Amino acid sequence: MEKVALLGHSWGSGLGSVYALKHPEDLLCYIGVGQLVNGRANEATGAKRLRELILAANNKKDLAALDAVGEYPCGENDPFSWDKIMRVRKLQRKYGLAVRFGATFFREMLASPTLKFSDVLLMKKTFAFNYPMVEWVITSFSLEAYPKRYETPVFYLLGERDYQTPYVLASAYFDAIEAPQKELVLLKNAGHFPQLDDMPSFVAALQRMLSKAE
C-alpha cells in the first residue's frame, strides 16, 4: 500500500492528529498547520492575548466590547454561542490575531488552479451546517486525551501571529510528544494561514519536511 503525507489545518489538524495516532501505517508523515491542541484553551489563550493588546492600546471601546462577550469561550452559566466567537474574531482581526478576510486573502485563494469562487461561498454555509461539530471542537476537544507517542514523523508549520490556534500551545504540546522524527517551523511573518501569509517560506519548509519523510 502506498503511504501518503497527511496535512491537517486548523480544526482539520485535530482530526489529522487523531488519524496519525490511530493509523500510522498509512502515513509517510503528519504535518500540522495552525495546529489545534485544546479547543477551550485555544480560545481562552487567544482572548487573553487580545485583552493584553487592547489594554496596551488603552482602547476603552474595544475593552467594553470584549467584556460584553462574557466568559469566553463558555462558562457554567454562560454557554458557548456562534455570536460570541464571531464578536471575538472581529476584535482579534483588528489587532492582527486572526485571519483577515481582505483582498489579499481572497486573491491568493482564487489564484488556486482548483478552487472556484463558489467553493469560497460554500465555506460560510459549512460553518452553519456543522455548528454542533464546531461547538464540540471548541468546548470539548483536546489532544491531551490521546497518547503522546506518534508512530509516524510529525512536523508542525506554525505562524508566530496565530492566536486562533495559538502557536504557544501548539509548541508546548509538540515539545511533549514522541515521534520517530519531529520538527517545528515557526514562520515569523505569518498567522493562522501561513500558506497565504508567507507562501515562499511555507512551501520551502513543506518541501524540506516531505523530503525528510520519504
**Sequence-ordered alpha helix ranges (H) in the chain:** 11-22, 39-57, 60-69, 82-94, 103-110, 117-129, 131-140, 167-176, 194-197, 199-213
Domain count, the chain: 2
Give me the count of residues in the chain: 214
Quote the percentage of the chain above a pLDDT of 70: 95
**How far is it, in rounded angstroms, from Cα 100 to Cα 160?**
15
pLDDT at 199 over 70: yes
pTM of the model: 0.89
102 pLDDT tier (thresholds 50, 70, 90): low
Does one domain contain both 147 and 208? Answer: yes
The per-residue b/e assignment along 2-20, b for 16 or more CB within 10 angstroms, e otherwise, is eeebbbbbbbbbbebbebb
pLDDT tops 90 at residue 64: yes
147: in domain: yes
- Domain stops at, among 30, 59, 94: 94
Looking at the fold, whether 166 and 187 belong to one and the same domain comes out as yes
Mean pLDDT, all residues of the chain: 91
Residue 103, pLDDT score: 64
Residue 127 scores a pLDDT above 90? no
Q: Give the separation between CA 122 and CA 111, rounded to whole angstroms.
A: 17
pLDDT (mean) for 105-122: 73
Cell 485535530, located at residue: 14
What is the mean pLDDT of the segment spanning 58-77?
A: 93
Contact partners, residue 39, CB within 8 Å, separation at least 6 = 73, 136, 137, 138, 139, 140, 141, 142
Whether residue 45 lies inside any domain: the answer is yes
Q: Is 199 helix (H, G, I), strand (E, B) or coil?
A: helix
Cell for 73?
A: 469561550
170 lies in a domain? yes
170 within 8 A of 158, measured Cβ to Cβ: yes
CATH number at residue 185: 3.40.50.1820
Flag whether pLDDT at 105 surpasses 90.
no
The CA R_g of the chain, rounded to the nearest whole Å, is 18
Q: Are residues 19 and 62 in the same domain?
A: no
Residues 17 and 23: their CA atoms lie apart, in Å, by 10
User: Mean pLDDT over residues 62-72, rounded?
Assistant: 95
Same domain, 44 and 34: no
Residues 66 and 9 in one domain: no
Region 178-201: mean pLDDT is: 92
Minimum mean pLDDT among 51-60, 85-94, 119-128: which range? 119-128
pLDDT value, residue 129: 79
Asked if 50 and 33 sit in the same domain, the reply is: no
* Number of alpha carbons in the 13 Å side-chain half-sphere of residue 67: 8
Lowest mean pLDDT among 121-125, 158-162, 167-171: 121-125
Interatomic CA distance for residues 72 and 36, integer angstroms: 17
More confident residue, 102 or 118: 118
The answer to whether residues 60 and 23 belong to one domain is no
Residue 115 domain-assigned?
no
Decide if pLDDT at 132 tops 70.
yes
* pLDDT over 80 at 34, yes or no: yes
Give a yes or no: residue 105 inside a domain: no
Whole-angstrom distance, CA of residue 55 vs CA of residue 135: 29
Among residues 61, 94, 127, the one where a domain terminates is: 94
- 169 in a domain, yes or no? yes
> By residue range, what is the domain housing residue 46?
40-94
Query: What confidence tens digit (pLDDT) does each residue in 140-155 have?
Result: 999 999 999 999 999 9
